[in-house]
Amino acid sequence: MNKDYSDILNLPHPVSEKHPRMSLYDRAAQFSPFAALTGYDAAIEETGRFTEERAMLDENRKKELDDKLRALLEDKSESRISISYYIPDRKKDGGKYAEAISTIVRIDAYRRELMLEDGTKVPFDDIVDINKVATDY
């Protein structure tokens, strides 16, 4: 069984009549690496994403915030406020703190939330600090 392939060495390259020739780009794609663990990179990135723990307010601070909210409820003028609040993360434990300077559009005592002029709804329990902003007119 000693073949030197001399019978096929000088034959032309076979060309299929049924299948078109594959481009070099498509041929290379056959051998490119693939993601065997789909979503693994996103899971690692999500795990590494930083979130903050919610700070627990003491009773004095809660009473102070309650008094400020009550004063805002009684004040019917459209005054601007500075508000700091906590936004819980939807995917994992923790969240982040946000600050805004805005006008309160509505105070919903039943749902216990403020609606700001940009449409943001801030639950009373997530408010960390709230103050009226002095306007210079």
C-alpha separations of 51 from 28, 101, 132 in Å: 42, 23, 28
This prediction's pTM: 0.64
**Residue type (1 letter), 86:** Y
Structural domain contains residue 109? yes
**For residue 7, what pLDDT is reported?**
85
Which residues fall within 8 angstroms of residue 88, CB to CB, at 6 or more apart? 54, 94, 95, 126
**For residue 90, what pLDDT is reported?**
87
Q: How far apart are CA 27 and CA 5, in angstroms?
A: 27
Domain count, the chain: 1
| 54-93 tens-digit pLDDT | 888 899 999 999 898 888 878 767 778 899 999 998 888 8
- For 86-107, b/e burial (b = at least 16 CB within 10 A) is bbeeeeeeebeeeeeebebeee
Look up the domain containing 81 and give its range. 12-137
pLDDT at residue 37 greater than cutoff 80? no
